[in-house]
Chains A and B, each alone.
Chain A
Amino acid sequence: MASIEEPPIEAKPPPESYEPGSEADFERLYRNSYRRILGTLITLVRDRATAEDCAQETYERAFRHWKEWRPEASAEAWLHRIAINVAISDRRHQSLRQAGELVRRLGRPAPGPDPSAVAERSDLFRAIRKLPAKQAAALVLRHYHGYSNREIAAALGVPEQTVASRLAAARQHLQAVLGRR
Protein backbone atom coordinates (compact mmCIF):
# COMPACT_ATOMS: atom_id res chain seq x y z
CA MET A 1 0.00 0.00 0.00
CA ALA A 2 2.90 2.29 0.65
CA SER A 3 3.81 2.34 -2.99
CA ILE A 4 0.28 3.39 -3.88
CA GLU A 5 0.50 6.36 -1.59
CA GLU A 6 3.70 7.60 -3.19
CA PRO A 7 3.20 10.51 -5.54
CA PRO A 8 3.51 9.43 -9.16
CA ILE A 9 6.16 10.65 -11.53
CA GLU A 10 5.31 14.09 -12.84
CA ALA A 11 3.03 14.73 -9.89
CA LYS A 12 2.58 18.32 -8.90
CA PRO A 13 5.94 19.87 -8.06
CA PRO A 14 6.70 21.91 -4.98
CA PRO A 15 5.32 25.38 -5.52
CA GLU A 16 7.68 27.78 -7.21
CA SER A 17 7.52 31.49 -6.87
CA TYR A 18 6.61 33.58 -9.87
CA GLU A 19 6.27 37.28 -10.32
CA PRO A 20 3.01 38.30 -11.97
CA GLY A 21 3.58 40.07 -15.26
CA SER A 22 7.15 38.87 -15.66
CA GLU A 23 7.60 37.30 -19.08
CA ALA A 24 10.69 35.41 -17.94
CA ASP A 25 8.74 33.92 -15.06
CA PHE A 26 5.87 33.01 -17.33
CA GLU A 27 8.31 31.22 -19.63
CA ARG A 28 9.60 29.33 -16.61
CA LEU A 29 6.04 28.46 -15.60
CA TYR A 30 5.46 27.21 -19.12
CA ARG A 31 8.50 24.95 -18.98
CA ASN A 32 7.59 23.65 -15.54
CA SER A 33 3.94 22.94 -16.18
CA TYR A 34 3.49 22.23 -19.89
CA ARG A 35 3.67 18.44 -19.70
CA ARG A 36 1.17 18.16 -16.90
CA ILE A 37 -1.24 20.57 -18.58
CA LEU A 38 -0.88 18.58 -21.80
CA GLY A 39 -1.48 15.33 -19.91
CA THR A 40 -4.71 16.72 -18.49
CA LEU A 41 -5.86 18.00 -21.85
CA ILE A 42 -5.14 14.72 -23.61
CA THR A 43 -7.71 13.03 -21.40
CA LEU A 44 -10.27 15.73 -22.09
CA VAL A 45 -10.10 16.22 -25.83
CA ARG A 46 -10.18 13.72 -28.63
CA ASP A 47 -6.52 13.49 -29.70
CA ARG A 48 -3.02 14.72 -29.00
CA ALA A 49 -2.96 17.31 -31.77
CA THR A 50 -6.04 18.94 -30.32
CA ALA A 51 -4.58 18.69 -26.82
CA GLU A 52 -1.43 20.49 -27.97
CA ASP A 53 -3.53 23.14 -29.60
CA CYS A 54 -5.57 23.56 -26.43
CA ALA A 55 -2.39 23.70 -24.34
CA GLN A 56 -1.05 26.57 -26.40
CA GLU A 57 -4.40 28.27 -26.21
CA THR A 58 -4.28 27.83 -22.44
CA TYR A 59 -0.91 29.58 -22.17
CA GLU A 60 -2.01 32.34 -24.53
CA ARG A 61 -5.03 33.04 -22.35
CA ALA A 62 -2.98 32.79 -19.20
CA PHE A 63 -0.35 35.19 -20.51
CA ARG A 64 -3.01 37.76 -21.32
CA HIS A 65 -3.98 37.76 -17.65
CA TRP A 66 -0.55 37.06 -16.21
CA LYS A 67 -0.34 40.49 -14.59
CA GLU A 68 -3.59 39.81 -12.76
CA TRP A 69 -2.48 36.48 -11.28
CA ARG A 70 -1.91 36.61 -7.52
CA PRO A 71 0.92 34.53 -6.03
CA GLU A 72 -1.36 33.41 -3.19
CA ALA A 73 -2.94 30.93 -5.59
CA SER A 74 -1.09 28.03 -7.17
CA ALA A 75 0.00 29.05 -10.65
CA GLU A 76 -0.42 25.52 -11.93
CA ALA A 77 -3.89 25.18 -10.44
CA TRP A 78 -4.75 28.45 -12.16
CA LEU A 79 -3.43 27.07 -15.44
CA HIS A 80 -5.43 23.89 -14.99
CA ARG A 81 -8.57 25.89 -14.51
CA ILE A 82 -7.92 27.76 -17.74
CA ALA A 83 -7.01 24.53 -19.54
CA ILE A 84 -10.24 22.83 -18.50
CA ASN A 85 -12.25 25.80 -19.74
CA VAL A 86 -10.37 25.64 -23.03
CA ALA A 87 -11.12 21.91 -23.29
CA ILE A 88 -14.80 22.46 -22.58
CA SER A 89 -14.89 25.16 -25.22
CA ASP A 90 -13.12 22.82 -27.63
CA ARG A 91 -15.69 20.11 -27.06
CA ARG A 92 -18.44 22.57 -27.87
CA HIS A 93 -16.81 23.48 -31.13
CA GLN A 94 -15.57 20.02 -31.95
CA SER A 95 -17.54 19.57 -35.13
CA LEU A 96 -16.41 22.90 -36.51
CA ARG A 97 -12.82 22.27 -35.50
CA GLN A 98 -12.81 18.96 -37.37
CA ALA A 99 -13.20 20.83 -40.62
CA GLY A 100 -10.31 23.14 -39.76
CA GLU A 101 -8.12 20.26 -38.62
CA LEU A 102 -8.67 18.51 -41.90
CA VAL A 103 -7.57 21.60 -43.79
CA ARG A 104 -4.46 21.96 -41.63
CA ARG A 105 -3.48 18.30 -42.01
CA LEU A 106 -3.76 18.45 -45.77
CA GLY A 107 -0.62 20.57 -45.80
CA ARG A 108 1.39 18.36 -43.47
CA PRO A 109 3.55 15.34 -44.22
CA ALA A 110 2.45 12.05 -42.68
CA PRO A 111 3.41 12.08 -38.98
CA GLY A 112 5.71 9.48 -37.48
CA PRO A 113 4.78 7.01 -34.75
CA ASP A 114 2.86 8.81 -32.05
CA PRO A 115 3.12 7.67 -28.42
CA SER A 116 -0.26 9.17 -27.74
CA ALA A 117 -1.77 6.70 -30.19
CA VAL A 118 -1.84 4.38 -27.20
CA ALA A 119 -4.54 6.60 -25.79
CA GLU A 120 -6.65 6.09 -28.89
CA ARG A 121 -6.57 2.32 -28.37
CA SER A 122 -7.32 2.39 -24.66
CA ASP A 123 -10.90 1.53 -23.68
CA LEU A 124 -10.45 3.37 -20.44
CA PHE A 125 -9.22 6.50 -22.18
CA ARG A 126 -12.05 6.42 -24.63
CA ALA A 127 -14.47 6.10 -21.73
CA ILE A 128 -12.84 9.02 -19.90
CA ARG A 129 -13.11 11.19 -22.98
CA LYS A 130 -16.82 10.53 -23.13
CA LEU A 131 -17.30 11.79 -19.59
CA PRO A 132 -18.43 15.37 -19.02
CA ALA A 133 -15.28 17.48 -19.17
CA LYS A 134 -15.46 18.60 -15.56
CA GLN A 135 -15.76 15.01 -14.31
CA ALA A 136 -12.88 13.89 -16.49
CA ALA A 137 -10.76 16.80 -15.31
CA ALA A 138 -11.38 15.96 -11.65
CA LEU A 139 -10.45 12.35 -12.36
CA VAL A 140 -7.16 13.24 -13.99
CA LEU A 141 -6.20 15.84 -11.43
CA ARG A 142 -6.90 13.36 -8.66
CA HIS A 143 -5.56 10.12 -10.10
CA TYR A 144 -2.77 11.29 -12.36
CA HIS A 145 -1.50 14.55 -10.95
CA GLY A 146 -2.10 13.58 -7.35
CA TYR A 147 -4.09 16.63 -6.28
CA SER A 148 -6.26 16.36 -3.19
CA ASN A 149 -9.95 17.11 -3.44
CA ARG A 150 -9.32 20.41 -1.70
CA GLU A 151 -6.66 21.39 -4.21
CA ILE A 152 -8.90 20.39 -7.09
CA ALA A 153 -11.71 22.44 -5.62
CA ALA A 154 -9.39 25.43 -5.39
CA ALA A 155 -8.13 24.91 -8.92
CA LEU A 156 -11.61 24.62 -10.42
CA GLY A 157 -13.22 27.21 -8.18
CA VAL A 158 -15.92 24.89 -6.88
CA PRO A 159 -16.79 23.51 -3.44
CA GLU A 160 -14.87 20.46 -2.29
CA GLN A 161 -18.11 18.51 -2.10
CA THR A 162 -18.71 19.19 -5.77
CA VAL A 163 -15.34 17.65 -6.58
CA ALA A 164 -16.20 14.57 -4.54
CA SER A 165 -19.52 14.27 -6.34
CA ARG A 166 -17.88 14.59 -9.73
CA LEU A 167 -15.27 11.98 -8.89
CA ALA A 168 -17.91 9.57 -7.62
CA ALA A 169 -20.05 10.07 -10.71
CA ALA A 170 -17.05 9.60 -12.99
CA ARG A 171 -15.95 6.39 -11.28
CA GLN A 172 -19.49 5.05 -11.34
CA HIS A 173 -19.77 5.76 -15.03
CA LEU A 174 -16.44 4.12 -15.81
CA GLN A 175 -17.38 1.06 -13.78
CA ALA A 176 -20.63 0.76 -15.72
CA VAL A 177 -18.91 1.21 -19.08
CA LEU A 178 -15.92 -1.01 -18.41
CA GLY A 179 -17.65 -3.56 -16.18
CA ARG A 180 -15.08 -3.28 -13.43
CA ARG A 181 -15.37 -3.07 -9.67
Chain B
Amino acid sequence: MSDIERDLEEELHRVLDPISAMPIPPRRRAGSRTAARTVLGGAGAALTIKLLTGVAVAAAAVTVAGAATTGSINPAVWGQQVSQHVADCKAKLADGQHGIGDCVSDFANQHGQAVASDARHHGAGTGTTNGHGNNPNANDHAKNKNRGRSTQGKGASSQQDPTDPPIHATVTASPQP
Protein backbone atom coordinates (compact mmCIF):
# COMPACT_ATOMS: atom_id res chain seq x y z
CA MET B 1 0.00 0.00 0.00
CA SER B 2 1.43 3.38 -1.02
CA ASP B 3 1.67 6.45 1.14
CA ILE B 4 -1.16 8.11 -0.66
CA GLU B 5 -3.44 5.14 -0.09
CA ARG B 6 -2.58 5.00 3.60
CA ASP B 7 -3.09 8.73 3.97
CA LEU B 8 -6.32 8.43 2.12
CA GLU B 9 -7.73 5.74 4.37
CA GLU B 10 -6.63 7.51 7.53
CA GLU B 11 -8.12 10.77 6.40
CA LEU B 12 -11.37 9.18 5.29
CA HIS B 13 -11.79 7.49 8.65
CA ARG B 14 -10.76 10.56 10.59
CA VAL B 15 -13.41 12.62 8.85
CA LEU B 16 -16.17 10.14 8.21
CA ASP B 17 -16.15 8.00 11.36
CA PRO B 18 -17.53 10.77 13.62
CA ILE B 19 -20.28 11.39 11.10
CA SER B 20 -21.10 7.70 11.04
CA ALA B 21 -21.61 7.81 14.80
CA MET B 22 -24.32 10.44 14.54
CA PRO B 23 -27.98 9.43 14.89
CA ILE B 24 -29.83 8.33 11.81
CA PRO B 25 -32.61 10.74 10.85
CA PRO B 26 -36.07 9.42 9.99
CA ARG B 27 -36.46 8.44 6.40
CA ARG B 28 -38.07 11.08 4.28
CA ARG B 29 -41.22 9.89 2.55
CA ALA B 30 -41.65 10.46 -1.14
CA GLY B 31 -43.52 13.65 -1.90
CA SER B 32 -42.91 15.26 1.48
CA ARG B 33 -40.88 18.02 -0.09
CA THR B 34 -41.93 17.77 -3.67
CA ALA B 35 -43.30 21.27 -3.75
CA ALA B 36 -40.18 22.86 -2.30
CA ARG B 37 -37.96 20.84 -4.59
CA THR B 38 -40.01 21.85 -7.59
CA VAL B 39 -39.43 25.49 -6.80
CA LEU B 40 -35.90 25.37 -5.45
CA GLY B 41 -34.14 22.54 -7.20
CA GLY B 42 -33.19 21.26 -10.60
CA ALA B 43 -35.31 22.16 -13.57
CA GLY B 44 -37.83 23.77 -11.23
CA ALA B 45 -35.23 26.29 -10.17
CA ALA B 46 -34.38 27.08 -13.74
CA LEU B 47 -38.04 27.57 -14.56
CA THR B 48 -38.54 29.71 -11.47
CA ILE B 49 -35.61 31.93 -12.37
CA LYS B 50 -36.95 32.34 -15.89
CA LEU B 51 -40.42 33.17 -14.58
CA LEU B 52 -39.08 35.73 -12.13
CA THR B 53 -36.93 37.30 -14.83
CA GLY B 54 -39.92 37.46 -17.15
CA VAL B 55 -42.07 39.09 -14.51
CA ALA B 56 -39.34 41.63 -13.74
CA VAL B 57 -38.91 42.50 -17.40
CA ALA B 58 -42.66 42.78 -17.90
CA ALA B 59 -42.98 45.01 -14.84
CA ALA B 60 -40.19 47.24 -16.10
CA ALA B 61 -41.81 47.47 -19.52
CA VAL B 62 -45.17 48.38 -17.99
CA THR B 63 -43.51 51.02 -15.84
CA VAL B 64 -41.74 52.58 -18.79
CA ALA B 65 -44.81 52.47 -20.99
CA GLY B 66 -46.96 53.86 -18.22
CA ALA B 67 -44.58 56.70 -17.52
CA ALA B 68 -44.36 57.58 -21.16
CA THR B 69 -48.05 57.21 -21.89
CA THR B 70 -49.93 58.36 -18.83
CA GLY B 71 -47.31 60.32 -16.98
CA SER B 72 -46.12 62.49 -19.80
CA ILE B 73 -48.79 62.52 -22.44
CA ASN B 74 -52.49 62.99 -22.01
CA PRO B 75 -54.06 62.95 -25.49
CA ALA B 76 -57.22 64.69 -24.39
CA VAL B 77 -55.40 67.49 -22.67
CA TRP B 78 -52.93 67.76 -25.50
CA GLY B 79 -55.72 67.99 -28.09
CA GLN B 80 -57.43 70.76 -26.17
CA GLN B 81 -54.17 72.64 -25.82
CA VAL B 82 -53.47 72.40 -29.53
CA SER B 83 -56.97 73.54 -30.48
CA GLN B 84 -56.67 76.49 -28.16
CA HIS B 85 -53.25 77.36 -29.43
CA VAL B 86 -54.33 77.13 -33.10
CA ALA B 87 -57.17 79.50 -32.34
CA ASP B 88 -54.75 81.89 -30.68
CA CYS B 89 -52.42 81.72 -33.63
CA LYS B 90 -55.25 82.44 -36.04
CA ALA B 91 -56.30 85.35 -33.93
CA LYS B 92 -52.82 86.80 -34.21
CA LEU B 93 -53.11 86.59 -38.01
CA ALA B 94 -56.25 88.66 -38.14
CA ASP B 95 -54.43 91.59 -39.74
CA GLY B 96 -54.12 89.80 -43.08
CA GLN B 97 -51.05 87.65 -42.59
CA HIS B 98 -51.10 84.02 -43.77
CA GLY B 99 -49.75 80.82 -42.21
CA ILE B 100 -49.78 79.77 -38.61
CA GLY B 101 -47.24 76.96 -39.05
CA ASP B 102 -44.40 78.59 -37.17
CA CYS B 103 -46.68 79.64 -34.37
CA VAL B 104 -48.09 76.14 -33.91
CA SER B 105 -44.74 74.46 -34.45
CA ASP B 106 -43.12 76.48 -31.70
CA PHE B 107 -45.79 75.30 -29.31
CA ALA B 108 -45.47 71.67 -30.46
CA ASN B 109 -41.69 71.78 -30.21
CA GLN B 110 -41.83 73.03 -26.64
CA HIS B 111 -44.28 70.30 -25.75
CA GLY B 112 -42.15 67.62 -27.41
CA GLN B 113 -39.06 68.64 -25.48
CA ALA B 114 -41.03 68.61 -22.23
CA VAL B 115 -42.36 65.11 -22.92
CA ALA B 116 -38.91 63.75 -23.79
CA SER B 117 -37.43 65.26 -20.66
CA ASP B 118 -40.25 63.80 -18.56
CA ALA B 119 -39.78 60.33 -20.00
CA ARG B 120 -36.05 60.40 -19.30
CA HIS B 121 -36.75 61.61 -15.80
CA HIS B 122 -38.90 58.49 -15.22
CA GLY B 123 -35.90 56.30 -15.87
CA ALA B 124 -37.00 55.05 -19.24
CA GLY B 125 -33.57 55.47 -20.74
CA THR B 126 -35.35 55.76 -24.07
CA GLY B 127 -36.98 59.07 -23.53
CA THR B 128 -36.28 60.16 -27.05
CA THR B 129 -37.81 57.01 -28.38
CA ASN B 130 -40.85 57.37 -26.19
CA GLY B 131 -41.24 60.94 -27.19
CA HIS B 132 -41.20 59.95 -30.83
CA GLY B 133 -43.35 56.89 -30.42
CA ASN B 134 -46.01 58.23 -28.16
CA ASN B 135 -46.25 61.77 -29.25
CA PRO B 136 -45.86 61.79 -32.98
CA ASN B 137 -47.51 65.16 -33.27
CA ALA B 138 -45.02 66.95 -31.14
CA ASN B 139 -42.01 65.37 -32.74
CA ASP B 140 -43.34 65.70 -36.22
CA HIS B 141 -43.89 69.32 -35.52
CA ALA B 142 -40.35 69.70 -34.38
CA LYS B 143 -39.06 67.97 -37.49
CA ASN B 144 -41.38 69.77 -39.82
CA LYS B 145 -40.46 73.06 -38.39
CA ASN B 146 -36.90 72.64 -39.49
CA ARG B 147 -37.76 70.95 -42.75
CA GLY B 148 -40.46 73.41 -43.56
CA ARG B 149 -38.06 76.27 -43.13
CA SER B 150 -35.41 74.67 -45.28
CA THR B 151 -37.82 73.67 -48.05
CA GLN B 152 -40.16 76.62 -47.90
CA GLY B 153 -43.12 74.35 -47.21
CA LYS B 154 -44.62 76.61 -44.64
CA GLY B 155 -47.60 77.55 -46.75
CA ALA B 156 -48.77 74.00 -47.11
CA SER B 157 -48.42 73.19 -43.47
CA SER B 158 -50.41 76.22 -42.54
CA GLN B 159 -53.41 74.69 -44.28
CA GLN B 160 -53.28 71.46 -42.34
CA ASP B 161 -54.48 70.52 -38.93
CA PRO B 162 -51.26 70.33 -36.90
CA THR B 163 -52.60 67.41 -34.90
CA ASP B 164 -52.97 65.12 -37.90
CA PRO B 165 -49.77 63.11 -38.36
CA PRO B 166 -50.40 61.64 -41.82
CA ILE B 167 -50.80 65.07 -43.33
CA HIS B 168 -47.62 66.22 -41.68
CA ALA B 169 -45.85 63.18 -42.96
CA THR B 170 -47.03 63.97 -46.45
CA VAL B 171 -45.86 67.54 -46.14
CA THR B 172 -42.52 66.39 -44.89
CA ALA B 173 -42.02 63.87 -47.68
CA SER B 174 -43.00 66.09 -50.56
CA PRO B 175 -43.20 69.74 -49.63
CA GLN B 176 -45.35 71.97 -51.77
CA PRO B 177 -43.50 74.46 -53.96
Contact = CB atoms under 8 A, between A and B. Distances in A.
Contact of A122 (B1, B15, B20): B15
The secondary structure that dominates the A interface is helix
Contacts of B57: none
A135 interface: no
Contacts, number: 107
B8 A38 contact: no
A99 B9 contact: no
A110 interface: no
A119 B15 CA distance: 6
Nearest to A167: B5
A15 B105 CA distance: 94
Given A4-B1, A122-B11, A144-B12, A35 B20 contact: yes
A126 B29 CA distance: 32
B46 A63 contact: no
Contacts of B177: none
Contacts of B8: 124, 139, 143, 171, 174
Contact of A42 (B5, B19, B36, B42): B19
A99 B40 contact: yes
B95 interface: no
Interface in A82-110: 89, 93, 96-97, 99-100, 103-104
Given A42-B19, A125-B15, A56 B28 contact: yes
B20 A36 contact: yes
A52 B25 contact: yes
A63 B45 contact: no
Interface string A97-137: 10110011000000000011011001011000000000000
B18 interface: yes
B94 interface: no
A59 B27 contact: yes
A93 B13 contact: no
A3 to B, nearest CB: 11
Grouping DSSP codes into helix (H, G, I), strand (E, B) and loop, the B interface class, with mixed when no group exceeds half, is: helix
A39 interface: yes
A9 B13 contact: yes
- Size bracket of the A interface: 35 or more
A38 B27 CA distance: 13
Given A27-B27, A124-B7, A181-B3, A96 B42 contact: yes
Contact of B18 (A96, A104, A115): A115
27 contacts: A9-B17, A30-B24, A35-B20, A35-B22, A43-B12, A43-B16, A60-B28, A60-B30, A63-B30, A93-B45, A96-B46, A97-B45, A100-B40, A116-B18, A118-B18, A119-B15, A119-B16, A122-B15, A143-B5, A143-B12, A144-B12, A144-B16, A171-B4, A178-B4, A178-B7, A180-B4, A181-B3
Given A35-B22, A60-B29, 4 more contacts: A99-B45, A115-B22, A171-B4, A174-B8
Interface of B: 1-9, 11-20, 22, 24-25, 27-30, 36, 39-42, 45-46, 49
Interface of A: 4, 8-10, 27, 30-31, 34-36, 38-39, 42-43, 48, 52, 56, 59-60, 63-64, 89, 93, 96-97, 99-100, 103-104, 115-116, 118-119, 122, 124-125, 139-140, 143-144, 171, 174-175, 178, 180-181
